[in-house]
Chain A
Amino acid sequence: MIRIVTLATYDEGDITHLSKTLYRAFGVGTEHVGNRALPKKAERDDGRFDAIKLLADATPVRAYSDDKVLYITDMELAIPKGPLGEPPAWGYAEQGGDRALISTFRFRPRGVTEASIEVFRRRMARESIHFIGHLWDLHHCYDARCAMHPSWSPSLPDDPEFELDAFCRDKSERRVRLAKT
């Protein structure tokens, strides 16, 4: 089961849409656990939040062994700087673990029009599938139409697809099947 925990206030329609999309993508039940407070300890000097620390300090929710927990925040995230620089952080997940985090900070503003809301929801669904995919041991995919393609890739369109490609879907299905207790 996938449990969604919001660390900011989101529209109920957005969360419902996300739940349905995650169910379609992984075939696993999804529910919104509720709102939790943002761990302030994870905030850095530059005002951004350390993604690894935030996920570690986030309030735990009751879950079974195979459950995956997805935290959603609207704060800007940061990850440690690499040898070639710091990649933009859209979220973070424990590879093969059970907790993931996404940030809506880099999304286009939700707006009030149906079109802008739709784009916002689609992007939210994509990033959620991406980071939950990491929880199922999926790696990044070279196909820009796949949700596992890196979120900052220049070949990614403004309104990207939120489906997994055949390889990633098969792999995630295998993992889900193996993980089911």
Chain B
Amino acid sequence: MVTVGAVRTLGKRERADKQEEASSPGGNIASSADLKPGDRVVYPKQGVYRVTGLEQKDIAGQRLEFVKMSREEDGASVLVPLGKVATIGLRRVATAGDIEGVFHFLGATYGDPELDWKVRHRDNVERLIAGGVLGVAEVVKGLHSLSRLRPLPAKERELYDSSRHLLVNEISVSLGVPDVIAEDYVDFALMPPAGVKLPLRTPPTPVELKGPPWKRKKAIVAEDDDLGLAELGIDLGAIEGAIEGAAEGAAEGAAGGEESEEGEAEGTAPAAEDGAEEGVAVPARMAGKVAEKGAAVKVPVQKAPAPRKAPPPPPPPKKAAARASPVKKPAPRPSAKPAARPAAKRPKPRKGAPAKKPATSRLARPKKGAKPAKGKKK
């Protein structure tokens, strides 16, 4: 069991090491044998170090060998285990030729910055570790172009500052100029003064980062092109042709279309008006309109108020029909208003018994309790 576990762990480590090695660009230090005292190396996200020698230490009962390095900027020293030299991304300081390419890259126009901050942050961190000096320049340029759109959030502002520091430091070491001058060069490329045209050449291509598929921009672009619609039996060309044909047809038959639209508008507008009116109107008024226009017109009317406002009228008695018929005859509006009044009175007879004479029925109600019965009895 122990052996298996150890083998598995080693396998994971090896895989991780291989991954990191694969993601590293040229110029990386493959093993500790490549290092000599006095060599200048770049420790990712830390800066330029000078190798001072090998050191042995006893740690947890084990005798380990380390490469000792000290940072040129402030003299901070770091010990890297010999076995880790190849995996931490140590690389040589960029040459003057590389640095020239960096300036051409900085001076070139930059595409739209990545707007998804999560993707951007991970990409930037990965570039700082595995992208070489051009990766650092890419981070600076990307965040600089983003800062032109909107102020950077605090975290990215810090990243911008630290990556700028790393870039300036490496440039100054590589070109042998002071840091401030190196920074002037960087900003001269990033934002040249008005009227100055930079002698730019084709910039070098940044190192393609190896990472999860969603990070690979090229792969994403390829996915965009092929959405796999063919598998679903969808032919985009045919759809586009149909859309174009429809657009042409619409353009040709604009007059007819207008007519039809007008027709539709005419057809819909009254309905909408009716709906609007009926939405506000009293149920009795609606009932009057039903009588005037017929049921067909009222079908498109909004359904929500309808159940409230149009309670199924009880089968009209003969007298009610007789009342409605004189309303129908005078078609003009003035007749509709008076028609509404009697309609408003209709619910009252509904509540009570559909008696022949509402007046008598009202009178009969109180009498129902005592007197009418007596009268009837009488």
- Bound CA span A153–B187, Å: 8
For chain B residues 48-86, which have a beta carbon within 8 Å of chain A? 73
- Bound CA span A110–B193, Å: 23
What is the size, in residues, of chain B's interface with A at 8 Å between Cβ atoms? Answer: 39
A83:B103 contact, CB within 8 angstroms: yes
Q: B148 — which chain A residues lie within 8 A by C-beta? A: 142
A84:B188 contact, CB within 8 angstroms: yes
Which stretch, B15-23, B109-117, B173-181, touches the partner chain A?
B173-181
Q: A84 — which chain B residues lie within 8 A by C-beta? A: 103-104, 107, 185, 188-189, 192, 198-200
Q: Which of A52, A150, A155, A167 is within 8 Å of B157, CB to CB? A: A167
- Whether A13 is near chain B, meaning CB under 8 Å from some CB there, is no
For chain B residues 157-178, which have a beta carbon within 8 Å of chain A? 157, 160-161, 164-165, 168, 175, 177-178
B198:A79 contact, CB within 8 angstroms: no
B188:A87 contact, CB within 8 angstroms: yes
A83-B103, A84-B103, A167-B157 given; A154·B191 CB < 8 A: yes
B147:A142 contact, CB within 8 angstroms: yes
- Bound CA span A176–B18, Å: 44
- Bound CA span A89–B181, Å: 9
B188:A85 contact, CB within 8 angstroms: yes
* 1/0 contact string of A96-108 vs chain B (CB within 8 Å): 1000000000000
Q: Which of B177, B196, B199 is within 8 Å of A80, CB to CB? A: B177
A80:B181 contact, CB within 8 angstroms: yes
A82:B151 contact, CB within 8 angstroms: no
- Bound CA span A139–B169, Å: 11
Q: B232 — which chain A residues lie within 8 A by C-beta? A: none
Q: B177 — which chain A residues lie within 8 A by C-beta? A: 80, 82
For chain B residues 249-285, which have a beta carbon within 8 Å of chain A? none
B193:A154 contact, CB within 8 angstroms: yes
- Whether A134 is near chain B, meaning CB under 8 Å from some CB there, is yes
- Bound CA span A87–B186, Å: 10
A82:B188 contact, CB within 8 angstroms: yes
Q: Which of A52, A79, A142, A153 is within 8 Å of B193, CB to CB? A: A153
- Nearest CB in chain B: distance from A178 CB, A: 12
- Nearest CB in chain A: distance from B103 CB, A: 5
- Whether A88 is near chain B, meaning CB under 8 Å from some CB there, is yes
- Whether A152 is near chain B, meaning CB under 8 Å from some CB there, is yes
B184:A85 contact, CB within 8 angstroms: no
- Whether B100 is near chain A, meaning CB under 8 Å from some CB there, is yes
Residue of chain A at shortest CB distance from B182 = A82
- Whether A143 is near chain B, meaning CB under 8 Å from some CB there, is yes
B180:A92 contact, CB within 8 angstroms: yes
B180:A134 contact, CB within 8 angstroms: yes
Residue of chain A at shortest CB distance from B164 = A139
- Whether A43 is near chain B, meaning CB under 8 Å from some CB there, is no
Residue of chain A at shortest CB distance from B107 = A84
Q: B104 — which chain A residues lie within 8 A by C-beta? A: 83-84
Most buried by A among B104, B168, B187: B187
A95-B178, A153-B193, A154-B193 given; A82·B185 CB < 8 A: yes
B183:A140 contact, CB within 8 angstroms: yes
Closest 3 A/B residue pairs (Cβ): A95-B179, A82-B185, A87-B188
The 26 sampled A-B contact pairs (Cβ below 8 Å) are: A52-B181, A82-B175, A82-B177, A83-B99, A83-B100, A83-B185, A84-B192, A84-B200, A85-B188, A85-B196, A85-B198, A92-B178, A92-B181, A94-B178, A95-B180, A95-B183, A96-B73, A139-B164, A139-B168, A140-B183, A140-B186, A140-B187, A142-B147, A142-B160, A154-B192, A167-B157
In the complex, besides A82-B181, A150-B184, 8 extra interface pairs with C-beta distance below 8 angstroms are A79-B184, A80-B177, A84-B104, A84-B198, A84-B200, A85-B196, A87-B185, A140-B164
